[in-house]
Chain A
Amino acid sequence: MPELAIDRLSKSFDGKMVLKDVTFHIEPDEFVSILGPSGSGKSTLFHLIGGISQPDEGEISLDGERINGKKGSISYMPQSPALFPWRTILQNVLLGAEIAGKKDLPAAVAMLEKAGLKEYESAYPHQLSGGMQQRAAFIRSLLSPQPLICLDEPFSALDEFTRSEMQQWLLSIWMEHRRSILFITHNIEEALFLSDRIIILSDKPANVKAEFDIPFPRPRDESIVLTEEFLTYKKAVYNELKADSGA
């Protein structure tokens, strides 16, 4: 049974269709990226999965249970870290679990240590660099009890070096603590490097246009981005995205 199943999801705002018959699924422990031009309704999709807004048509189900308009069924990591400035890093990473009512302090401490944030445990967010803040934000979503984590362009505000470092880090943590992940990005290379599968959305109204299975073995090394195979995939994905804007 798929972890998350999206079935013919449609949503419009003020008569303008943003999502149209979007259908895809995520298997347990699978890393799926959604790639699409900016403004293609990726955020709307997250709002629907997160239960903040209701779809006009279609079904969203998690573990076989319908979660249309049901808040708190997924764990979420926003584009900006959105750490709470008055909480220490340790208190911050516990927030997701706290909201769900399942606080586990020893697990949080252990996780921070693994993530290389041990020394920042009692620091406040402003004392951390952007990359470190994003790490804390990811740990926060990893410590939340929900089975699916949705990441909304989490590295888009970081510089190129930090970004590739973060991708490596994300994969290493994820390999140890497997979860189903839905990752939204507009960076082709990032999607290729991280995912098991890439879903390409078309421009307004968004629709699933193509799906690519990415067969690179894990654990993945940074060097794969320079291989012939990687470039072939990149070209294919790029053409698929490009075809869209031409249409």
Chain B
Amino acid sequence: MRRIFLKGWRPVSVLILLFVVWEISSRIFDIPVWLLPPPSQVWVEIFASWPNYSSHLASTVRLSVAGFLIGCSTGLAVAVCLHLVPKLRETLYPLMILSQNIPIIVLAPLLVIWFGFGLAPKLIIITLVCFFPVTIAALDGFRQTGSDMMHYMKMAGATTQQIFWKLEWPHAMPSVFSGLKIAATYSVMGAVISEWLGAKEGIGVYMTLASSSFRTTQVFVAIFLIMVLSLLFFGAIVFLEKRMIRWKETGEEERNA
């Protein structure tokens, strides 16, 4: 607890300072609320309109979790395939990078044309933004296996399968988690973007409605929700990582001590 306080006081005070400056300047300069609402008003709105957005929030959470799970499993599966079949990697790697160069904003309407307004195009968008960091991270993890350990495995007569499950897979876990962390935050963003296209509910819908009617305070509420959601997802992955990769975490703690 003490450590969190010691490490955290700087960013927290910067954040508080930012809010204070924002609050004061919006009062001094008398900025209209539809242009830039003061943080105090956003804060009040967060609690006041909870019944309005709770269903939207739930819908976005469901969508992002589903998309995240699909995207990450796809990412891992792709990474394993590409790693185990080097020819496949050579063939598909450039294509994978290209898939990331298409702006999602451009792709999204196309997906709607092809798949309609249902769940499918939304999940595809989230999958597209989630799978890439996971695949790249996992591929790097698989490839950067320690040469000493690899040499030992080969001398000991390990089969390709044994090398993969006993060496490459556990070795890649820390980098897979780095990928998962990026994907976790992307998944919320992907979900919101996909909701802009047309959905019945979701934070994206709530945001579009608010901005088109100049209820800027609610737009800020939506931004706040997206941030909190991303942080929660991120935190969940960090928690999982600490539970699963204990061998590495203890090492770092000892070095810090």
- The answer to whether B152 touches A71, judged by C-beta atoms less than 8 angstroms apart, is no
Which of B146, B158, B171, B247 meets A99, CB within 8 Å?
A: B158
Contact at A52–B153, with CB atoms within 8 Å? Answer: no
Complex contact B149–A84 (CB within 8 A): yes
Q: Specify which of B151, B156, B247 is in contact with A85 (CB 8 Å cutoff).
A: B247
- A124→B157 contact, CB < 8 A: no
A75 to B153, CA, bound (A): 11
Instruction: Determine if A240 is an interface residue (Cβ-Cβ < 8 Å).
Output: no
Docked Cα-Cα span, A37 to B97, in Å, equals 49
Chain B hits for A84, CB < 8 A? 149, 166-167, 170
Contact of A95 among B146, B151, B166, B250 (CB under 8 A): B166
Interface residues of A in 44-76 (CB under 8 A from B): 46, 50-52, 71-76
| B237 close to chain A: CB less than 8 A | no
Does B248 count as interface, using CB distance less than 8 angstroms? yes
What is the chain B residue whose CB lies nearest that of A125? Answer: B247
A147 within 8 A of B: no
Q: Does A82 contact B (CB under 8 A)?
A: yes
A80 to B148, CA, bound (A): 7
The verdict on B20 contacting chain A, using a C-beta distance below 8 Å, is no
A71-100 CB mask vs B (1 if < 8 Å, else 0) is: 111111011101011110000000110111
**Does B257 belong to the interface (CB within 8 Å)?**
no
A98 to B158, CA, bound (A): 9
- Complexed CA–CA distance, A98 and B163 (Å): 12
Task: Give Cα A73–Cα B171 distance, bound, in whole angstroms.
Answer: 26
Closest chain-B Cβ to A129's Cβ sits at a distance in Å of 13
Q: Is A178 an interface residue (CB 8 A)?
A: no
> Contact between B251 and A99 (Cβ–Cβ < 8 Å)?
no
| Nearest residue, chain B, Cβ from A126 | B251
Give the secondary structure class of A's interface.
Answer: loop
Instruction: For the complex formed, measure the closest distance between the CB of B150 and the CB atoms of chain A, giving whole angstroms.
Output: 9
- Could you tell me if A124 and B149 are in contact, using CB atoms closer than 8 angstroms? no
Q: Are B173 and A82 in contact, with the CB atoms below 8 A?
A: no
A71 to B154, Cβ gap below 8 A? yes
Given A85-B248, A86-B247, residue A144 in contact with residue B156 (CB < 8 A): yes
**Cα–Cα distance between A124 and B249 once the two chains are bound (Å):** 11
Give chain B nearest CB distance to A139 CB in angstroms.
14
What is the CA–CA distance of A79 and B149 in the complex, to the nearest angstrom? 11
Contact partners of B151 in chain A: CB under 8 A: 78, 82
Q: Are A124 and B156 in contact (CB under 8 A)?
A: no
Name the one of A85, A87, A99, A127 contacting B153, with C-beta atoms under 8 angstroms: A99
B149 touches A99 (CB 8 A): no
Contacting pair A99 B157 (CB below 8 A): yes
Taking A50-B155, A144-B156 as known contacts, 8 extra A-B pairs with beta carbons closer than 8 A to each other, sorted by chain A number, are A52-B154, A76-B152, A82-B148, A82-B149, A84-B149, A84-B166, A124-B250, A126-B247
